[in-house]
Amino acid sequence: MSAIAAPSPAPAAAQRRPGLGRLTHVELRKMTDTRAGLWLLLATAGLTAAIVVIVCLAGDAGDRTFKNLLSAALQPVALLLPVAGILLVTSEWTQRTSLVTFALVPQRGRVLMAKLLAGCVLGVAATLLAVAVAGVATAIAASDADGVWSFSAGLFLQDLFYVVTAMITGIAFGALLLVSAPAIVLLYVLPTAWAAIGSLSFMQKPAEWLDSTQTLDPMTDRLLSGGEWARALVSLALWMALPLAAGWWRVRRTELR
């Protein structure tokens, strides 16, 4: 009787699961592989440049400082970039690629972590782009007065934090709803509605802690105090951490189709 040959073990490279760095690179590519994602990023870059040009042309001499131009450049970035985060998550379900993605990487938490890291990388890159645009505009349009280039490392770190947390918030809403349109609508409608409610006299105190337009927007203008940081973190717990936790649970539990 001839012996049955045992199957040869798979190569170690085939058994090794993809690293988090590789998964993050894949998620970054997903942001530009689709037409919608590519045009969104191009529109964000174009609007960033346009806002800075408008401030240079229409603003006073006091507005044409590096700090003010960078603050203006970051507004479209923080406004539009979270949509890319939403699309990064929801496209797995709307484009029906979740079966392939989670078949290749069954640990859904690792995939979502890679999406978060990709969002952070994109947020840092967008912030650096805004810095470059503001720097060029300052060099061209600003006067030679003292303080035009005055800018602190702490304010730059706040700018990074402002953009990256906006990006993570978009990913959180995408993971929570798994459908692009409702996630995009709620991302903009809920904070706006809360800001309107917070304008009522009896809601002004809670709004100081929970209205992200009050707690986060000053980050690009000045260094926050300890109390301001406390209010910013509380509002982020409501608008970023809570949706992210619920979305993380939903992504891990939702049936693939």
Whether residue 9 lies inside any domain: the answer is no
Least Cα distance to 37 among 78, 73, 86 occurs for 86
Distance, CA of 181 to CA of 142 (rounded, Å): 41
Whether residue 1 lies inside any domain: the answer is no
Look at residue 6 in the predicted model and tell me its pLDDT: 44
Helix axes 20-33, 66-94, angle to 10 degrees: 90
Look at residue 257 in the predicted model and tell me its pLDDT: 66
Distance, CA of 164 to CA of 155 (rounded, Å): 14
Whether residue 206 lies inside any domain: the answer is yes
Whether residue 72 lies inside any domain: the answer is yes
Q: Which domain holds residue 57?
A: 18-253
Q: What is the mean pLDDT of residues 54-65?
A: 85
Do 27 and 85 touch, CB atoms closer than 8 A? no
Look at residue 16 in the predicted model and tell me its pLDDT: 67
Q: Which of 2-11, 14-23, 46-55, 149-158 has the lowest mean pLDDT?
A: 2-11
The count of domains in the chain is 1
Q: For the CA atoms of the chain, what is the radius of gyration?
A: 22
Residue with tokens 């993570």: 168
Residue type, 173: F
Whether residue 3 lies inside any domain: the answer is no
Least Cα distance to 69 among 149, 124, 123, 126 occurs for 149
Whether residue 63 lies inside any domain: the answer is yes
Statement: residue 2 has pLDDT above 80 = no
Least Cα distance to 89 among 257, 209, 250, 255 occurs for 250
Whether residue 221 lies inside any domain: the answer is yes
Q: Which of 46-55, 135-144, 217-226 has the lowest mean pLDDT?
A: 135-144
Name the percent of the chain lying above pLDDT 70. 93
Whether residue 8 lies inside any domain: the answer is no
